[in-house]
Amino acid sequence: MGFEGAELAVVPLDTERAKDPSVTGAKAANLARAAVAGLPVLPGFVLVPAGRAPGAPAGQDAVRSAWQALAGPERQDRPLVVRSSSAHEDTEDSSMAGRFESVLDVCGWEEFTTAVQTVLDSAGRVRPLRPPEGQEPGDAMAVLVQPMLRSAVGGVMFGADPVEGRTDRILVSAVKGGPDQLVDGSTQGVRYQLTRFARLVSTDPPERRSERVLSHRQTTRLVSLAKKTERVFDGPQDMEFGFDAEGQLWLFQSRPITAMAVRPPRDARLLGPGPVAETLPGVLQPLEEDLWVAPMRHGLTVALDIAGAASRRQLRKLPVVTTVDGRAAADLRILGAVPSAHPVLDFINPAPGARRASAAWRVGRLRSAFPLLAVDLLADVDRGLADFPPPGEMLSGQLLDAVTWGRQVLSPLHAQESLAGALLGAGTGATAAGEALAELREGRARGLSDDELIERHPVLLALLPPTLGDRAPLPEQTGWTTMPRGVGALPVREGLRLRIRWVQEMQAQMVRELARRLGPGGRALGLPRLMSLRWEELARAAQGDGLPADLDQRLPRPDTGPLPAAFRLADGRPVAELPRGQRTSGDGYGAGGGFGTGTVWDGHGQRPDHPVLVVRSLDPALAPLLPGLAGLVAETGSALSHLAVLAREHRVPTAVGVPDAVDRFPGGTSVAVDGGTGAVTVHETPPDPAAHETAATREEPAA
């Protein structure tokens, strides 16, 4: 015999006791609750430890009697399905989808006892990914036994759309045959998006009406079942269903939808790194954010107001530039980086036209005076930077004043740099990066170190991103052949960009010196701790008011990867938005989890930092690999499969149905995964600054 029947008690599925998840486990309890409420649930019984169900028939004879009644009183060859029912699965916090064993098509007493033992053994073999505190998986395992139904059509249904976070949609994935093909990730199936009134919104892939897996009558019955189940359980459910050969609809499983995506509000702004990423490309720590994002925001606001690009009311209400996960992002609509969402309304609305007309008068007057104003600002900045002595020779108050001056001057620099692009055009086409690369080539030929090069030629800072931490090394090689002509040969806009970088570097030097002085007992504070301060906290500490008490508990912001090109915020998390017409045949289907970037990994060998698991199918055995993944990509599988559900619970960006993913994205490739749209793209390493220069803009060597 495969198990000790004397230790098990039998609880019929259609009894009140079976509704208690502490007795029968969550899966069986949910089905019992549905059965008592009159939903179409197959009959069955639950095997539980005898001590958990006092008074229930127990022992081998009771188990065999229950099996005989369900398998058929005469020949006893009716096939059964034996499934796990743990207190740790199918809950509101964790589905544990597919983590425990189920055995299908079980015939005969010997097969039945073996199947029961297989399910019981899986309780100790598989540990919950997030087990309830103080509980072990085997403590609450029960075994659910029901007839094996031969489904003509089966599938998975969600009473809401967990990928898009829409409660006004019902999502169904269906296949010919049983739903096990979907939940194990081996089959894509056909996905139906339905309204709560059973109107078909879309199918993926598209189907002809005559070839649909589900008829209109069947989808109507499924929507009705979803609504009834929602009323029974007080919320939308994740369900498995099947239609038998006679067309009868049966409910195989019901559990709460976990990891429901948060949907951005209707008025959420469209954000993206856009042009601000050119100035601030990396993750900013709190002090860097206060020193550099705030002046950029103010400067761009002033420029947009002068140009009449947005109303003052809008500019006061909405910050032009913000940070998300430490990365700078801008309002793409205010900056004009994307077309208007309501072009017809904008055309007939007289306010924008009047505002632009008023701004045209200001811009017309400014156009002739702007070059002189910009040159004056450049000269003022150069004089201010030249007047600062070495940081080590300055008092702490002087260091603080220098950083404050930098915050004040960055605002007009950003404003004029933005206006220069609109008023002056490209000029000669020379760039600070081009000048820096020419200087770098000559300096490398003379064997100069990075510090010596930057001290002699500050234009080289144009090749490095700003940071309060340790400065990145300069590029080792460059093929740039243009001879340097000097900073004075740069167009006005490039000169303004370069001064922004110089001011940021000056601030970084002053802050590094403060870090050496502000530690307790005269010891160095350390840059990571200093960068976790806000600007007001640094100012108070430099004036002798001490450091915040919780400074030791603050952790640096992690690098979670670049932001999507366009996104909206939902509870502070970016939800990527795919512009119309940009989905290609190489994209898959979003299964949720957000947006992430990392290195492709096949699940074998050394696990890279920020791994993106790329596989053929969504095998539930991959579940232990989910924690810490930066993304999950599969060639087949459904967004409603067990592994996709678990991935959403762990907030792993997941794309399914991505054609030839394993071949297109070999191990070691850096990719970005959009769990909302299903797009998977090769994420290029930040290019050398020379890549921003084209042959047309490179200067010819001086004669």
Q: Where are the domains of the chain?
A: 5-147, 153-256, 274-297+369-429+491-553, 567-682
CATH of 5-147, one of 3.90.79.10, 3.60.10.10, 3.30.70.580, 3.30.1490.20: 3.30.1490.20
Average pLDDT, integer, range 570-575: 86
Closest of 149, 163, 188 to residue 238, by C-alpha: 163
Q: What value, to the nearest 5°, has the Cα angle with vertex 567 and ends 561 and 571?
A: 85
Q: What is the pLDDT of residue 339?
A: 63
Collapsing DSSP states into helix, strand and coil, what is residue 106?
strand
Percent of the chain at pLDDT exceeding 70? 83
Closest of 478, 439, 441, 445 to residue 462, by C-alpha: 439
Evaluate if residue 38 carries a pLDDT over 90.
yes
DSSP result, 263-308: PPPTT---EE-TTHHHHS-SPPPHHHIIIIIHHHHHHHHHHHHHHT
Q: What span, in angstroms and rounded, lies between the C-alpha atoms of 329 and 270?
A: 10
Amino acid at 389: P
DSSP result, 76-105: ----EEEEEEETTSSSSS---TT-S-EEEE
Q: What is the dihedral of CA 103, 104, 107, 109, to 10 degrees?
A: 20
Closest of 228, 213, 135, 224 to residue 181, by C-alpha: 213
Encoding tokens for residue 409? 């001057």
Instruction: Report residue 699's pLDDT band, with 50, 70 and 90 as the boundaries.
Output: very low
Q: What is the pLDDT of residue 614?
A: 95
- pLDDT tens column, 471-486: 888 877 555 566 777 7
Evaluate if residue 690 carries a pLDDT over 90.
no
Average pLDDT, integer, range 521-542: 85
The secondary element (H helix, E strand) that includes residue 62 is helix 60-71
The secondary element (H helix, E strand) that includes residue 45 is strand 45-49
Average pLDDT, integer, range 2-8: 64
- pLDDT tens column, 489-509: 888 888 999 999 999 999 999
Q: What is the pLDDT of residue 623?
A: 76
Q: Which residues of 231-265 are buried (b: 16+ CB within 10 A; e: fewer)?
A: ebbeebbbbbbbbeeeeebbbbbbbbbbbbbebbe
**185 torsion bin: left (phi>0), alpha (psi -120 to 50), beta (else):** left
Lateral strand order in the sheet of 271-272: 321-324, 327-331, 271-272, 567-570, 573-576
Instruction: Report residue 677's pLDDT band, with 50, 70 and 90 as the boundaries.
Output: confident
Average pLDDT, integer, range 111-138: 68
Instruction: Return the CATH superfamily for domain 567-682.
Output: Phosphohistidine domain (3.50.30.10)
Helix axes 350-387, 294-307, angle to 10 degrees: 140
Q: What span, in angstroms and rounded, lies between the C-alpha atoms of 434 and 439?
A: 9
First to last CA, the chain: 96
CA within 13 Å, CB half, 186 = 7
Instruction: Report residue 680's pLDDT band, with 50, 70 and 90 as the boundaries.
Output: very high
Question: What residue has token string 């790329």?
Answer: 614
Question: What residue has token string 């097969």?
Answer: 111
Instruction: Report residue 201's pLDDT band, with 50, 70 and 90 as the boundaries.
Output: very high
pLDDT, greater one: 453 or 482: 453
Pairing mode of beta strands 153-158, 169-176: antiparallel
Within a 10 A sphere around the Cβ of 85, how many other Cβ atoms? 29
Contact (CB, 8 A) for 97 and 184:
no
Q: What is the pLDDT of residue 426?
A: 58
- Choice among 59-68, 267-276, 365-374, 436-445 with the minimum mean pLDDT: 365-374
Q: What is the pLDDT of residue 487?
A: 82
Q: What is the pLDDT of residue 346?
A: 52
Q: Is the dihedral of CA 52, 54, 55, 59 positive or negative?
A: positive
Average pLDDT, integer, range 354-359: 56
Q: What span, in angstroms and rounded, lies between the C-alpha atoms of 622 and 624?
A: 6
pTM of the model: 0.68
Q: What is the pLDDT of residue 125?
A: 58
- pLDDT tens column, 637-667: 778 777 787 788 788 999 988 888 998 999 9
pLDDT, greater one: 649 or 42: 42
Instruction: Report residue 9's pLDDT band, with 50, 70 and 90 as the boundaries.
Output: very high
CATH of 153-256, one of 3.40.50.10090, 3.40.50.300, 3.30.470.20, 3.40.309.10: 3.30.470.20
Distance set, CA 196 to CA 167, 169, 676 (Å) = 9, 6, 22
Question: What residue has token string 């205010």?
Answer: 334
Q: What is the pLDDT of residue 137?
A: 42
Pairing mode of beta strands 611-615, 680-682: unpaired
Q: Which residues of 662-689 are buried (b: 16+ CB within 10 A; e: fewer)?
A: bebbebeebbbbbbbbbbbbebeeeebb
Contact (CB, 8 A) for 301 and 551:
no
Q: What is the pLDDT of residue 259?
A: 76
Cis omega (within 30 of 0) for bond into 162: no
Collapsing DSSP states into helix, strand and coil, what is residue 469?
coil
Percent of the chain at pLDDT exceeding 90? 44
Contact (CB, 8 A) for 659 and 637:
no
CA 229 to chain centre: 31
Q: What span, in angstroms and rounded, lies between the C-alpha atoms of 308 and 352?
A: 8
CA within 13 Å, CB half, 212 = 17
Q: What is the pLDDT of residue 212?
A: 86
Distance set, CA 116 to CA 59, 76, 280, 378 (Å) = 14, 17, 59, 80
Mean pLDDT, the chain, rounded, equals: 83
Task: Identify which of 219-233, 533-547, 665-679 has the greatest average pLDDT.
Answer: 219-233
Evaluate if residue 337 carries a pLDDT over 50.
yes
Residue 446 is classified by DSSP as: T
Q: What span, in angstroms and rounded, lies between the C-alpha atoms of 257 and 160?
A: 8
Q: What is the pLDDT of residue 133?
A: 47
Average pLDDT, integer, range 20-39: 93
